[in-house]
Chain A
Amino acid sequence: MISLTTPLTEAAVRSLKMGDEVQISGVLYTGRDAVHKYLHEGGELPPGVDLKGGIIYHCGPVMMKQADGTYQCTAAGPTTSIREEPYQAEIIGHFGVRGVIGKGGMGERTLAGCQKYGCVYLHAIGGAAQVLAECVTRVRAVHFLEKFGSPEAIWELEVTNFPAVVTMDSQGGSLHRDVFAASEAALEARLTPG
Chain B
Amino acid sequence: MSALLESLIELIRRTSAELPDDVNAALVRSLEQEKKGTIAESALKIIERNIELAKRKSQPICQDTGSVIFYVDCPVGFDQIECEAATREAVKEATKRGFLRQNSVDSITGKNDGTNLGPGAPVVHFHQHREPTIEIRLILKGGGCENVGAQYSLPDESIHANRDLDGCRRSILNAVLQAQGKGCGPGILGVCIGGDRATGYEFSKQQFLRKLDDRNPDPKLDALEQDILKTANELGIGPMGFGGKTTLLGVKICAANRVPASYFVSVSYMCWAYRRQGIILNATHGIEGWLY
Contact = CB atoms under 8 A, between A and B. Distances in A.
Contacts of B102: 149-151
Given A103-B240, A149-B102, A187-B235, A60 B64 contact: yes
Given A77-B63, A125-B240, A150-B102, A130 B57 contact: yes
A181 B104 CA distance: 36
Contacts of A183: 177, 180, 235-237
A77 B240 contact: no
Contacts of B200: none
Given A62-B60, A77-B62, A104 B235 contact: no
A126 B47 CA distance: 9
B122 interface: no
A76 to B, nearest CB: 6
Contacts of B231: 187, 190
Nearest to B170: A191
B106 to A, nearest CB: 10
Interface residues of A, number: 50
Given A75-B63, A184-B177, A127 B101 contact: no
A175 B54 contact: no
Contacts of B60: 62, 74-75, 129-130
Contact of A21 (B42, B57, B63): B42
A64 B50 CA distance: 19
Contacts of A163: 42, 46
B57 to A, nearest CB: 7
A175 B43 CA distance: 15
Interface of B: 39, 42-43, 46-47, 49-50, 53-54, 57, 59-65, 98, 101-103, 105, 110-112, 114, 142-144, 147, 159-160, 166, 169-170, 173-174, 177, 180-184, 231, 234-238, 240-243, 271-273
- Top 5 A-B pairs, shortest CB-CB distance: A194-B160, A149-B112, A126-B184, A75-B63, A130-B53
